Amino acid sequence: MVELSSRRLEIDALRALWAIRHHGGITRAAEALGLSQSAVSHKIRRLETSLDCDLLNRRPGSPTFTAAGEDLLDYAGRILGLHDEALLSLSRTSLAGRIALGLTEDTTCSHLSRILGRFRRLHPQVAVRTRVRMSLVLRAMLERGELDAAIVQVFAQEVRPSDLVLSREDLHWVKHPDLALPAQGPIPFLSFDDDCFYRHWAIDIGQDGGALLENVFECSSAAGIVSAVAAGLGVALLNARHVRPDMQIITDRLPAPPPLAYVVRRARTTRNPALDTLVSEIESEVGRYGGLVLAS
């Protein structure tokens, strides 16, 4: 048994462990962190040696993490957050100003909330006003100058050179496995409301392949669409984060949806030192974790 005094929780190893959880394996974690797969594996093995326990299951078909690994992950997020906040506090300045920020519903359930909380503690003289809307609405507000910046979803081909890309995801057609699609005639479609660019793509482009969509359910909330899919009411377009194991991804009869990106987009004329600092902190977070971690 390794004595407690000889055990160490290395920050880089904890960051690698955290990345494995949120990127779905060592290979993707290594890519996100800009490291080789062997470097990530070495960090984890060294941590396991220090703690005298296995953190990862290495048998095919087993869960990624052991019970000890799951327990450590609960602490790792808090340790990394405090570590990063402590480093930022050493460079704290008398920053002041105002930021009008837009967020989507998805990004309120992400590490962004922790970043904003930390930003408020480090820069109490900066007033941040946040509005949560759908991406199309936020993009229009940016164009009208009502926001300084927004974190929005766009199709990957719409990413601008000035955008800060936080993460990339796939978009899928999904249905309940027991729902049989009609051989002919319209396909029941579960859509977000008219402010959703998924819906616009489905109606304007998604039917070009000959499929006819009949809008039978409309809801502004992802939770409502997920529930409607689970009830077998029709097919829906959902990003990968909202696809559940009990959903069936449709790969025929409907055209393949384009990939998505989450980006920080700034108003074209915005010059705001407080916003510059916030975006810089978000960018640093993306660099440390290989992308903004969004909740499932």
Q: What is the pLDDT of residues 214-259, one digit of tens each?
A: 999 999 888 999 999 999 999 999 998 899 999 999 988 888 899 9
Cβ-based burial of 134 (10 A; exposed 0-12, middle 13-18, buried ≥19): buried
- CATH number, domain 97-168+261-289: 3.40.190.10
Say if CB 30 and CB 18 are below 8 A apart: no
Q: How far, in Å, CA of 145 to CA of 271, rounded? A: 12
Q: Do the domains at 4-89 and 97-168+261-289 have one common CATH topology?
A: no
Q: Two tokens at 217?
A: 């359910």
Q: What is the pTM of this model?
A: 0.70
Q: CA 286 to CA 268: how far, in whole Å? A: 22
- Sequence spans of domains, the chain: 4-89, 97-168+261-289, 171-258
* Three-state DSSP class for residue 213: strand
Fold of 171-258: D-Maltodextrin-Binding Protein; domain 2 (3.40.190)
Residue 126: per-residue pLDDT:
92
Strands 126-132 vs 171-175: parallel, antiparallel or unpaired: unpaired
Class assignment of domain 4-89?
A: mainly alpha
HEC states along 258-283? CCEEEEEEECCCCCCHHHHHHHHHHH
For residue 296, the model assigns a pLDDT of 40
For 11-61, the pLDDT digits (tens) are 888 888 888 887 778 888 888 788 888 989 999 999 988 888 999 988 887
Whether residue 270 has pLDDT greater than 70: no
- Which residue has tokens 């009609």? 182
**Nearest Cα to Cα of residue 173 among 260, 261, 245, 252:** 252
Q: Which tokens sit at 258?
A: 């384009």
- Is it the case that residue 5 has pLDDT exceeding 90? no
- In whole angstroms, how large is the CA radius of gyration of the chain? 22
Buried b (16+ CB within 10 A) or exposed e, 48-76: beebeeebbeeeeeeeebbeebeebbeeb
Q: How confident is the model at residue 108 (pLDDT cuts 50, 70, 90)?
A: confident
CA 52/CA 209 separation, integer angstroms: 57
CA dist., res. 26 & res. 38, Å (int)? 9
Going by C-alpha positions, the residue among 99, 133, 155, 152 that lies closest to residue 276 is 99
Q: Is the pLDDT of residue 211 over 80?
A: no
